[in-house]
């Protein structure tokens, strides 16, 4: 397993929520840390703490803006959103936390880490395709 994926999984095991873990990975790729930013994006977790749009998607959109601010909103985030909506829709019936968890809070321990990892890997691919070196 790649070191960055191991680090992502470690962050999740340590209790970082989906959005904060993804943004932390983006910051780390730049050799930076920002506790206040991580605290702020943690409000996106759990579907903005209410089962709405998955924090893996919103966190990954923030991550793209950290890593590639010049292209993120115009090109990269729409590509991510299109992928996420299709992939999660196919697998779980929708892209909201409520859809992914299917009304079972116990599925969070299995489904959420898989969704975060898949989203992270997709972000890496999007960045590579856009010409960014991302490890």
Look at residue 135 and tell me if it is in a domain.
no
Position 77 in a domain = yes
pLDDT for res 1: 57
36 is in which domain, residue-wise? 3-129
pLDDT by residue (tens digit) across 54-69?
999 999 999 999 999 9
Euclidean distance between CA atoms 80 and 73, whole angstroms: 10
The answer to whether residue 19 sits within a structural domain is yes
134: in domain: no
17 domain-assigned: yes
* φ, ψ for residue 99, nearest 5 deg: -70, -45
**115 in a domain, yes or no?**
yes
Locus of tokens 């395709």: 129
CA angle, 77 as apex, 73 and 79 as ends, to 5°? 130
Give the pLDDT confidence score for residue 135 in this predicted structure. Answer: 64
54: left (phi over 0), alpha (psi -120 to 50) or beta: beta
Mind giving me the DSSP string for 66-91? HH-TTTIIIIIHHHHHHHHHHHHHHH
For 90-113, what is the mean pLDDT? 92
- Does 109 have pLDDT greater than 80? yes
107 band by pLDDT with thresholds 50, 70 and 90: confident
9-37 pLDDT, tens per residue?
Answer: 999 999 999 999 999 999 999 999 999 99
Q: What's this model's pTM, rounded to 2 decimal places?
A: 0.94
**Distance, CA of 17 to CA of 49 (rounded, Å):** 11
Mean pLDDT taken over the chain: 94
Domain assignment present for 114: yes
Any domain includes 37: yes
Total domains in the chain come to: 1
């Amino acid at each position: 397993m790649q070191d960055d994926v191991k680090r992502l999984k470690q962050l999740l095991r340590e209790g970082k929520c989906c959005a904060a873990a993804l943004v932390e990975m983006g910051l780390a790729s730049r050799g930076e840390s920002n506790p206040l930013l991580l605290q702020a994006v943690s409000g996106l977790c759990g579907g903005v703490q209410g089962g709405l749009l998955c924090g893996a998607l919103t966190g990954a959109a923030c991550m793209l803006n950290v890593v590639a601010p010049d292209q993120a909103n115009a090109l990269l985030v729409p590509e991510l959103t299109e992928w996420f909506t299709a992939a999660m829709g196919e697998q779980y019936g929708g892209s909201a936390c409520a859809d992914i968890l299917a009304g079972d809070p116990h599925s969070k321990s299995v489904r959420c880490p898989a969704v975060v990892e898949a989203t992270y890997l997709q972000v890496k691919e999007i960045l590579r395709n856009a010409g960014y070196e991302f490890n």
